[in-house]
Amino acid sequence: MSSKLILPGEAIPLPSSSKSIILGPGIAASSSRTRTLPSSDDASSSTNPTIIATRLGVLGSSKGKEKSEQIWVEGNSKRYIPAQKDMVLGTIIARHAEGYRVDLGSAQMASLEALAFEGATKRSKPNLKVGTLVYARVSLANRDMEPEIECFDPNTGKSEGFGELKGGLMITCSLQLCRQLLTPKFPLLPTLAASIPFEIAVGLNGRVWFKAGTVSETVTLKRIVEGVDNGEIRAERSAVEQAVKEYLA
């Protein structure tokens, strides 16, 4: 599906090559259905479900496993709206008997159950403090309900990189840059990794966490990512390599 400008309320055709469609931010299922008129060969008519855009932006898509495809509308919104299966970075702001309340930067706080971790049981649960940074996956996102997140992959039962993030530095970026960082063809992270070894977690809620070996390398990563986000540094291999040399000099 090619990227194009989408207006709010505009119907979006479903890709015929995908078995399952995952609706991302800016897209919702329509309550109406489009009717296909009967042809001369078939006297019966058929109806097809439709999806519509809920905001102005550019239509984007990415292929998943087993012919699945995710589609979304990329806009200039500064506030994150939780969407199911999004990877997010959150800060624990409160604890209660059943789990935690987590700030994702959205209009509502998210709920994280104490058992939503790899290997967690009623007798053995993680003990996270207020202020802890966690990397999680949105398991429930509904406009009328508080979002829920989990720190494991439900398909494997393993953490798969989710959970508490210790040390390092978190910065805030635009939602658009965070989605680009998760695109394999985007050159920023591979170029940085060629010069600086680091760990990274990218949240689609506009937050990026990384951990490098030294303070100077961590500051360099911060300045370059923020520079690309605000347009001071071009997201090209040569420009990023030059910025790394200047900041580490």
The enclosing domain of 52 has a CATH number of: 2.40.50.880
Q: Of 118, 134, 165, which closes a domain? A: 165
Query: Quick check: is 54 in a domain?
Result: yes
Query: Quick check: is 222 in a domain?
Result: yes
Cα distance between residue 144 and residue 131, in whole Å:
27
Q: Of 116, 131, 165, which closes a domain? A: 165
Cα distance between residue 155 and residue 43, in whole Å:
44
**180 and 235 assigned to the same domain:** yes
Query: Quick check: is 82 in a domain?
Result: no
Query: Quick check: is 138 in a domain?
Result: yes
- CATH number, domain of 178, equals 3.30.1370.10
**Residue 122 burial class via C-beta count within 10 angstroms: exposed 0-12, middle 13-18, buried 19 and up:** exposed
- CATH number, domain of 127, equals 2.40.50.140
Domain that holds residue 108: 87-165
**217 and 176 assigned to the same domain:** yes
At a CB cut-off of 8 Å and minimum separation 6, what does 156 contact? Answer: none
Per-residue pLDDT of the chain (249 residues; tens, 9 = 90+): 446 777 888 888 776 665 677 777 777 776 654 444 444 444 444 445 578 887 777 787 777 666 667 777 776 666 888 888 899 999 999 999 889 999 999 989 999 999 999 988 888 888 899 999 999 999 998 878 899 999 998 888 898 899 999 999 999 999 889 988 988 889 999 999 999 999 999 999 999 999 999 999 999 999 999 999 999 999 999 999 999 999 987
**149 and 180 assigned to the same domain:** no
Q: Of 134, 165, 196, which closes a domain? A: 165
**DSSP letter, residue 181:** H
Question: From the CA atom positions of the chain, what is the Rg in Å?
Answer: 21
**178 and 214 assigned to the same domain:** yes
**119 and 155 assigned to the same domain:** yes
Query: Quick check: is 64 in a domain?
Result: yes
Domain count for the chain, please give it.
3
Token representation of residue 91:
């800060």
